[in-house]
Amino acid sequence: MAASAWTMFPRGRHHIGTETLSAGTYRLTLHKTAASTNLSASGLTLFASIGNICTGGGLSATALANIKWTAGASANISKWDCDDIVLTASGSDITSVRFAVIRLSTGASEGKPICYAALSTAEFTVSTGNTLTIQLATTGIFTLT
């Protein structure tokens, strides 16, 4: 599944500007439609404020693999990218999936929200034994020019 364009949280931009985006563990979580109000909140600074996390299927916050800054199409462009994300529903369904959120993790359910993407226009279910692959654009999660 190709994610829509990733939207930066306002404070996510701040973390880039203060260079706190370069080191650490980044995690992806899946969220329900009910999270949409909190996703658009301009003052959002804490991951815990988003809420409405999808559960089930043995799902936990997934660490992003091979996350890095790389040169873009020219010397003036950098992109923030990682490997495509693969999640497997194990033991039960993962229900009500609508959004994905990436955060700089500071604990099991804590951190600084960086960006989010809509995975669909409506909630969907990942049935037990099936996988959800989030394919990232070739331009990365986001680019800086």
Would you write out the chain's pLDDT as a tens digit for each of its 145 residues? 666 789 888 777 777 766 666 667 888 999 988 888 777 766 677 777 787 888 888 887 788 888 887 876 677 888 888 999 999 999 999 999 999 999 888 777 778 888 899 999 999 999 999 999 999 888 888 888 7
On whether residue 56 sits in a domain, the answer given is: yes
Residue linked to tokens 């439609």: 33
Look at the chain and count its residues. Answer: 145
What residue numbers bound the domain in which 88 lies?
A: 7-144
On whether residue 61 sits in a domain, the answer given is: yes
Residue 86, amino acid: V
Split into its structural domains, the chain has a count of 1
Q: How far is CA 112 from the centre of its chain?
A: 11
